[in-house]
Every structure is written in C-alpha cells, then in structure tokens.
C-alpha cells in the first residue's frame, strides 16, 4: 500500500489519547485503542489483499513480518518490567506481573486480564502489563484473518467488491455480537478478541473499498475528515469509565477513524495536512513504542509513589522519560529488527525463542514466590492486594433454587447445622465473613455469604450509581435483592445480617425524584433498611445490621509497607500516615451512626453492631492487632488475617455475641 503520512499522524493522535487517559487528563482517551484497531485492520488487510492479488501472499512471510514488527520491542519492554519489578513490586504483585508476562509473551494477555482484573477497576492501576491486552486481541485476530481473506478471495474469484461486502457483513455481525455481550458481561466484551474483531473489520472494509468511486471534491473530502476527527475527539472527551463500553458507543471512534482513513484528496484536506506535520508524524512513527512503554513507566512510578498519582511536575518529567525511552526503543530495537534481512524461518524461530526466554524467566519468578525474603516477617501477609483478599475457608459452595449461581457457606455444614445465618451485602460483607467464621464454627452456625450489592438497593425505591461500574449496576442489584427476599421468605434461616460500607453507599443513592441532597440520601438509606428489616423479619429470627469498620481518608497500606519493607523501593512516607484518628473516623461515620441508631430504636428486635465505635474508643482507632495490620485498603479489612487475630477482632467489634441466643433481646450498640 502507498505510504500515507496522515495515517502516522492518526497513530500519534491515538496514542496521545491513550497516554492522556492513563495520566487522568482525558476521560475517554481509552478510545485511542479502538482507533488503533481500525488503523491496523485497514493497513494489514490492504497489504494482505494486494499480495493475494499479486499471487505472492505467504502465511509464513506474513507471520514472520508480524513477529519482526511486534515481538522485539514487546519482549524488551517485558524484560525491563520484570527486572524493575524486583526493586519495586511486592512479592504477590511480582508474581501477578510474572504471570501476565507469560501470557503477554504468548499473545494471550487479554485472556489473563479477563480473569484477573477489569480495565476500569482501581486495582488495574497496579498492573504494569495490563496494556498488553490489546496486543493479544490483535494477534488472535491475525491468526484467523489472513486465512479468512485467502478463502474469501478464492470464493469471490478475486472480486474486491465481493470481499468488501463480506467484510461489511463480518463487521455488522461482530458489532451485534459485541453489543449483546457488553449488555450482560461488559468485562468479557472489553477483553474479547471476538467482541473486538468488528473494529478491525471496519478498517478492513475501508481497505477493500480503496478503488471504489469515493467522492473526490474538496468539500466532501474536508467534511469527511472534519466529521471523522470530531467523532474521535467527542468520544475521547464525552465517554468515561462508566460508559457502557465497547458496545454501540464504540461506533463513534471507529467510524471516525474510518472516515479519516477513507481514500480522498489528502493534499486538499486540511485535517490530513495537520496530521502530516513532521512532529506529529514522528510521534506516529514511534507510537508503538510509546504505547508499550508509557503504561509500565506510569504504573511502576505509582508503586514507588505509594499508590498516589503523580503531581503536575512529576507528570511532565514522566512524559519526558516516556518519550525518550520510546524513541530509544524505536531507534535501537524496532527499526533495526524490522529492517533486518533475517529469513522467514529465522525471524519466526528468533521470535519464538525470545518469547520462550521471557516465559522461562517469568515462571522462575513465580517459582521463587516473588522473592518474599525482601519483606520482613511482620508484613509477609501483605505481599499483594490479591493475597490480602485471600481466605482459606473450610466452607463450600452450595447451589440454591432461588439463585442462579452457587454461594459460599461457611462455619458448620449448611444441611446439618442447628442454626443458619444469611450474611448479605457487598464487599464489606465479604471482608467481614472470615471474622465471623471462627465464631460460627464455635456456635455450630452455618453462614451463607450473599455478597452481590448493598442490601438496601432494590432498584425501585432505592437505586445506586456506583462509580466505575456499568450503568446496569442498579438493575443487577434489584434482581439480586428480589432473589434474596424470595430465599428468606421460605428458607429456614435464624439470623439475617446486613453489612456494607453504609457511609459510602449513602453518597451514591438516588430515587426517581431527581438529584439528591445529603439529607435525602440518608433518608433513602434509612427507609430502604427499614423496609428490608420488615420484609425479612420472622418469628424467632434475629436481624442484625453491622456498621462499617472505621474508614480512612486514603489508602494506608502503601505507607505501612514503605515504613517496614526497606528492601522495596518506595519514597519516604510521613511517620503518622499509618495511624487513623478516632475523630476523623467518627466524623466520617456520623450519618451512618445516626441512621443505624434510629433503626435500633424503631425495631426492638433489631441488633445493631457499630465496629467504628468499638475500634475507635481511644484517640486513635485500632488498626493493628496481634502485630498484624488489619487493613487491605482504605475501607476493607484483610481476609488473610491469622486465626488468633480474627477471634480478637470479632471480640473487639462485638460480633462474637451475635450467635448467642441472648442477643435476640439485646442491642449490642447500647
């Protein structure tokens, strides 16, 4: 295909959007990846079909070129991340990074991240190879696409129009499939090669219509390019982490990219002339290396910076580092290998060998358990967020007719237990479950952990807009609410325990009356909980609301680690940043406490347990027990605490009395 400088300019724009998004400067900059997919589909399809028409296409040559283009810079970047990880990553994070390196080297990184993260999840900001998911999508597509094009060309007897029609059909079917999957499983749609293939097919469609009678007038040319750039820019500034994506809205950046790629009189198109300016073209030339290096540099700095975002000055310095490293990667890795005279077999063999070396080195890190000797014994249980959320439970997953999937039951066996409890809530029910476990076993109680959403959300009177979650979150919460009510109406359950981060939940509640004031949101919480208590109350059934543990105003874990793990590279932490002021915690819980106390007075049979009071009896809240730091982040308790610590914490916050029959007439908050 004839070289077009404006396409390099479009690459520059795309990678700039991605970098700005990752630096939290453009809300929808992630669409830059979608533009990349369209560009890739356009260029690769055009090159392949020209070779097919010329009778010179070879799968072996195609894959050799792909390896020379993609693998060298990728493998060098992964190797650098693995080396830097020894100094900067905690053992658990190091293991996770190593596993992601194994998958990235094998072009299946998207499948690993599908199972271990969400692109918009807060935890994704700690994964230095998360961005390799897009390379996995592309490479999986190109395992199939060249063969498909050869087949289509043969069936169509070389007709570009017929093959172009087939690419349109593939794009339409793929988009339909993507919209369907996004509605039910947005994370699956985001990372799936099958749900993203239509975007590359959009580019392929443009390539197959290169010789069609596209309008040539300067007016039409400029209208197309302006419309294209407007669609891309609008997507970048209008979409957010909460947008239902990819789905139908991914059409905007993809159609925009297609309009900018479409054949036209480029020399008379002012958008294309702007994209062809030398500095922009240069950024486009190194865009692949910029994409590869920008994310790990930002993430590793975030680890060093105690999980905090960079300041304005730091961001400028990081951007300079990204550009210098990316230029060096392009100049000394990308270009020399791409222009080398390696034979096809040598290129493929070298690529496979390099990938195998990365896999072997990464597996060595896994086998070495991420080198835990770098941590002092006191914080060995804090090797990663994942490890701190692990819970080795004697429980089992059980299926119930009212629920579409099995749920964990722990304590005594569900079927043979003399008493049964239903622990209902979100992640704040999940983090307190291990604290309940030894108490439940002691009293012979079986507990079903039902953690889908805060129990108050029925999606009728009370809804919730959860930041970072898809807009269908409240709808799903309503379904789980109804299923739980049906279960509790018929099940033999002796205790219903409601747990959530009520203070955080309240700030996101709304109903159909419009915007909510703080007073209205607190009233929604109170009314929703009151209705729920009435709905689940039964004779000889105890109902309890568990208040939240004291909440921090920031994540204390990085500071705790920085102060104790001297062999992990971290910036200096303020001495008292790992302590929690009782005044701050109680101020944060004041609305929650008012609501829960009011409910305790209204319902004599309701048990209210406020951990924030018991844990903050002195000037500073209890954050360490038995020499173990209790928190996983700003709001969650670690689930991998030692058994002794769990028992002591249960006693401290007062839940060890919940399964005592005498608790039925005693409000533990009083």
pLDDT tens per residue across span 59-95: 999 999 999 999 999 999 999 999 999 999 999 999 9
State whether 343 and 481 are in the same domain.
no
| 161 and 241 within one domain | yes
Q: Say if residues 31 and 253 touch (Cβ distance below 8 Å).
A: yes
Percent pLDDT > 90 in the chain is 68
Q: 337 and 427 share a domain?
A: no
For residues 315 and 420, membership in a common domain is answered with no
Residue 208 structure tokens: 């197959």
The mean-pLDDT minimum among 95-109, 185-199, 273-287, 518-532 falls in 518-532
> Are residues 565 and 517 in contact, defined by beta-carbon separation less than 8 angstroms?
no
Establish if 557 belongs to a structural domain. Answer: yes
3-state secondary structure of 556: coil
151 backbone dihedrals φ, ψ, rounded to 5°: -65, -45
| One domain, residues 452 and 361 | no
> Does residue 461 form part of some domain?
yes
| Same-domain pairing of 194 and 110 | yes
- Residues 106-129 have a mean pLDDT of 82
Residue 670 lies in a domain: no
Q: Are residues 136 and 204 in the same domain?
A: yes
Q: Which pLDDT does position 664 carry in this prediction?
A: 41
What is the extent of the structural domain holding 277?
A: 5-373
- Please give the C-alpha separations between residue 488 and each of 151, 424, 495, 577, in angstroms, as whole numbers: 57, 11, 10, 43
378: in domain:
no
Give the model's pLDDT for residue 636: 93
Identify the sign of the CA torsion 579, 585, 587, 588: positive
The CATH number linked to 547 is 3.40.50.1110
Q: What region, left, alpha or beta, does residue 546 occupy, with left being phi > 0 and alpha being psi -120 to 50 degrees?
A: beta
Element at 396 (helix H, strand E) = strand 396-398
Q: How far apart are CA 548 and CA 593, in angstroms?
A: 10
Point out the domain boundary residue: 350, 373, 396.
Answer: 373
Residue 2: CB partners within 8 Å, gap ≥ 6?
none
350: in domain = yes
In this predicted model, what pLDDT tens digit does every residue of 528-584 receive, in sequence order?
899 999 999 888 889 999 999 999 998 999 999 998 888 999 998 887 777 999 999
**527, 548: one domain:** yes
d(CA 282, CA 121): 33
Angle, vertex CA 220, rays to CA 259 and CA 167, nearest 5: 35
**Residue 204 maps to a domain:** yes
CB 637 within 8 A of CB 630: yes
Residue 514 — pLDDT band, cuts 50, 70, 90?
low
- Give the tens place of pLDDT for each residue, 373-430: 999 988 889 988 888 999 987 789 989 988 988 999 999 999 889 899 999 998 999 9
Within its chain, how far is the Cα of 180 from the centroid?
20
598-643 pLDDT, tens digit per residue, is 999 999 889 999 999 999 999 999 999 999 999 999 999 999 999 9
Average pLDDT over residues 179-191: 91
Does residue 594 register a pLDDT over 60?
yes
Q: Tell me the C-alpha to C-alpha distance, in Å, between residue 314 and each of 5, 122, 296, 321.
A: 32, 21, 15, 10
Residue 522: predicted pLDDT: 85
Examine residue 246 and say whether the peptide bond preceding it is cis (omega within 30 degrees of 0): yes
Considering the domain boundaries, does residue 617 fall inside one? Answer: yes
The band of 204, judged by pLDDT with boundaries at 50, 70 and 90, is very high
Whether 514 and 475 map to the same domain: the answer is yes
Confidence grade of residue 660 (pLDDT, cut at 50, 70, 90): confident
**Pair 506, 624 in one domain:** yes
H or E element, residue 608: strand 606-609
Do 619 and 488 contact (CB within 8 A), yes or no?
no
Residue 544 gets which letter from DSSP?
A: E
**Residue 240 tokens, joined:** 């957010």
Last residue of a domain, one of 373, 393, 427: 373
Number of independent structural domains in the chain = 2
Q: Which are the contacts of 565, defined by CB distance < 8 A and separation ≥ 6?
A: 90, 374, 375, 376, 379
What pLDDT, on a 0 to 100 scale, did the predictor assign at position 266?
A: 63
> Angle 303-124-452 (CA atoms, 0-180°, nearest 5)?
130
Does residue 117 form part of some domain? yes
Would you say residue 267 has pLDDT above 70?
Answer: no
Q: Edge-to-edge strands of the sheet including 606-609?
A: 396-398, 407-411, 445-451, 419-425, 495-499, 542-546, 606-609
What digits encode the pLDDT tens for the residues 16-55?
A: 999 999 999 999 999 999 999 999 999 999 999 999 999 9
Band of residue 210 on the pLDDT scale cut at 50, 70, 90: confident
DSSP-derived 3-state class of residue 402: coil
At 122 the pLDDT is: 59
Q: Are residues 342 and 433 in the same domain?
A: no
Whether the pLDDT of residue 217 is over 90: the answer is no
My answer on whether 158 and 279 are in the same domain is yes
Cα pseudo-dihedral 392, 393, 394, 395, rounded to 10: -140
Rounded CA separation 30/433 (Å): 36
Cβ distance 616 to 632 under 8 Å? no
């Amino acid at each position: 295909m004839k070289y077009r400088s404006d396409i390099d300019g479009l690459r520059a724009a795309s990678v700039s959007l991605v970098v700005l998004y990752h630096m939290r400067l453009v809300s929808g900059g992630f669409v830059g990846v979608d533009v990349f997919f369209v560009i890739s589909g356009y260029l690769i399809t055009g090159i392949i079909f020209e070779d097919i028409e010329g009778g010179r296409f070879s799968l072996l040559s195609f894959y050799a070129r792909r390896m020379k283009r993609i693998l060298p810079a990728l493998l060098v970047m992964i190797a650098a991340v693995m080396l830097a990880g020894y100094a900067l990553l905690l053992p658990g994070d190091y293991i996770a990074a190593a596993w992601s390196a194994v998958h990235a080297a094998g072009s299946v990184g998207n499948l690993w991240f599908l199972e271990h993260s969400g692109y918009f999840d807060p935890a994704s900001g700690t994964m230095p190879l998360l961005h390799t998911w897009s390379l996995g999508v592309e490479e999986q597509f190109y395992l199939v696409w060249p063969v498909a094009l050869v087949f289509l060309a043969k069936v169509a007897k070389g007709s570009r129009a017929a093959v172009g029609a087939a690419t349109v059909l593939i794009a339409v079917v793929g988009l339909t499939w993507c919209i369907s999957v996004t509605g039910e499983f947005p994370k699956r749609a985001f990372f799936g090669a099958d749900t993203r293939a239509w975007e590359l097919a959009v580019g392929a469609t443009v390539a197959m219509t290169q010789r069609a009678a596209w309008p040539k007038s300067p007016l039409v040319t400029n209208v197309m390019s302006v419309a294209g750039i407007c669609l891309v820019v609008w997507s970048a500034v209008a979409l957010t982490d909460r947008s239902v994506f990819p789905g139908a809205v991914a059409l905007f950046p993809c159609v925009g990219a297609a309009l900018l790629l479409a054949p036209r009189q480029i020399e008379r198109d002012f958008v294309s002339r702007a994209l062809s300016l030398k500095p922009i073209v240069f950024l486009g030339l190194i865009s692949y290396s910029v994409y590869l290096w920008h994310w790990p540099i930002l993430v590793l700095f975030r680890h060093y910076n105690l999980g905090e975002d960079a300041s304005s000055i730091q961001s400028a310095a990081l951007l300079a580092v990204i550009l210098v490293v990316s230029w060096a990667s392009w100049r000394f890795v990308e270009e020399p290998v791409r222009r080398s005279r390696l034979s096809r077999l040598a290129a493929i063999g070298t690529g496979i060998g390099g990938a195998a070396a990365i896999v072997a080195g990464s597996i060595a890190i896994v086998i070495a358990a991420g080198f835990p000797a770098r941590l002092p014994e006191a914080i060995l249980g804090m090797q990663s967020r994942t490890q701190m959320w692990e819970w080795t439970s004697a429980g089992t997953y059980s299926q119930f007719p009212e629920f579409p999937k099995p749920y964990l039951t722990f304590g005594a066996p569900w079927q043979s237990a003399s008493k049964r409890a239903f622990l209902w809530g979100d992640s704040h029910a999940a983090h307190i479950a291990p604290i309940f476990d030894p108490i439940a076993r002691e009293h012979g109680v079986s507990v079903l952990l039902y953690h889908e959403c805060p129990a108050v959300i029925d999606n009728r009177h009370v809804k919730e807009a959860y930041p970072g979650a898809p807009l269908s979150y409240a709808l799903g919460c309503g379904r789980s609410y109804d299923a739980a009510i049906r279960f509790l109406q018929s099940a033999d359950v002796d205790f219903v325990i409601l747990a959530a981060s009520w203070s955080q939940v309240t700030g996101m509640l709304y109903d159909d009356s419009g915007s909510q004031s703080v007073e209205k949101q607190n009233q929604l919480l109170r009314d929703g909980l009151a209705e729920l208590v009435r709905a689940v109350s039964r004779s000889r059934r105890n109902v309890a609301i568990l208040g939240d543990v004291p909440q921090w105003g920031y994540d204390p874990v990085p500071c705790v680690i920085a102060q104790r793990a001297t062999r992990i590279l971290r910036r200096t932490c303020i001495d008292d940043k790992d302590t929690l002021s009782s005044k701050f915690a109680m101020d944060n819980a004041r609305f929650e406490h008012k609501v829960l106390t009011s409910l305790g007075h209204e319902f004599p049979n309701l048990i209210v347990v406020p951990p924030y009071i018991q844990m903050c009896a002195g000037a500073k809240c209890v954050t360490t027990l038995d020499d173990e730091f209790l928190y996983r982040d700003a709001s969650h308790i670690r689930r991998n605490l030692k058994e002794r610590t769990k028992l002591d914490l249960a006693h401290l916050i007062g839940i060890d009395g919940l399964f005592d029959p005498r608790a039925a007439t005693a409000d533990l908050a009083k």
